[in-house]
Amino acid sequence: MSGAELLKLEAVTRSVQLPDDSELQILSGIDLTVSEGDHIAIVGRSGTGKSTLLNILGLLDTPTSGTLTWSGTDASRLSARRAARIRGRDLGFVFQQFNLLPGRTALENVMAPLMYSTGRDFWQRRRLATESLERVGLGDRLDSMPQTLSGGEQQRVAIARALVRRPRVVLADEPTGALDVATGRAVMELLDAATGEDGSALITITHDSNVAALARAQFQLDGGRLHPLEVEAAL
Ligand SMILES: Nc1ncnc2c1ncn2[C@@H]1O[C@H](COP(=O)(O)OP(=O)(O)OP(=O)(O)O)[C@@H](O)[C@H]1O
């Protein structure tokens, strides 16, 4: 069952001005509500606007028109500072490329988001990062360097890093794109279980309908529009 509403898009459009002065409409009339505990997948072919939508959901970009509401507040009214705080604390990001810092251990990578936090999060960063790595089954690899870990293990470190501040929404952009099918499935099950445990929402952006089938609600992005997909959830 869904909990409190976290993100809401109403009639969101996004267009960009091209060098020849024409306008390219990437997103048109997007409506989407994301609540605590939701696991939503957004599927779409390459170039359909998935990254553009993800950037808007992650408060990295703003709609050209329409409204994005974060936890009841119109996002266009958030100060840059408040938006940055939400991105750092309430949103977790997982990417296809794991983006781990080379030359830093798994533990140091997971501690990184806590370095600029205050209070308990800062002082207890080592313990919090250790616990986050234990949650993804890597409690015995704290001191491993990323290059000594398999792709699936690196993605689990990236997930531990995304979850370490207990975000309210996790945005996963092609999280299985660099993994084989079995490892990708295990990573998705882990993301689903960990966000489910925390009551946070998971939004998975993927071109892979098998990955999307693991979510509880699926949408297709096509021609800049979002359509609900009626597919039985596999989890
Ligand atoms: N700033 C921009 N200027 C011009 N065109 C843009 C800009 N941003 C996005 N586009 C175009 O808008 C379309 C959607 O881009 P977007 O990156 O959101 O697609 P995507 O679905 O994430 O693609 P992929 O799966 O290949 O990453 C593409 O055709 C892209 O070239």
224 lines ligand 1 (CB under 6 A): no
- pLDDT average, residue stretch 165-194: 93
16 lines ligand 1 (CB under 6 A): yes
Confidence category of residue 235, pLDDT binned at 50, 70, 90: very low
Task: Return the structure tokens found at 2.
Answer: 């869904």
Which residue in 86, 23, 14, 88 sits closest to 54, CA to CA? 14
Cα-to-centroid distance, 51 and ligand 1 (Å): 7
Which atom belonging to ligand 1 lies closest to the Cα atom of 48?
21
List b or e across 125-155, with b for residues whose CB sees 16 or more CB atoms inside 10 angstroms. Answer: beebbbebbebbebeebbebbbeebeebbbb
Q: What's the gap between Cα 29 and its chain centre?
A: 22
- Nearest-CA residue for ligand 1 atom 24 is 46
Q: What is the pTM of this model?
A: 0.92
Lowest mean pLDDT of 2-6, 51-55, 64-68, 171-175, name the range: 2-6
Q: What's the gap between Cα 94 and its chain centre?
A: 5
Which residue in 94, 119, 102 sits closest to 188, CA to CA? 94
Cα-to-centroid distance, 49 and ligand 1 (Å): 5
Alpha carbons 18 and 26: distance in angstroms, whole number: 12
102 lines ligand 1 (CB under 6 A): no
Alpha carbons 5 and 12: distance in angstroms, whole number: 17
**What was the pLDDT predicted at 234?**
47
Which atom belonging to ligand 1 lies closest to the Cα atom of 207?
25
* Domain regions of the chain by residue span: 37-62+77-229
Query: What top-level class would CATH report for the domain 37-62+77-229?
Result: alpha beta
**What was the pLDDT predicted at 205?**
94
Q: pLDDT digits over 37-64, tens only?
A: 999 999 998 899 999 999 999 999 999 9
Pick from 51, 176, 207 the residue to mutate for probing ligand 1's pocket: most ligand atoms within 8 Å of its CB. Answer: 51
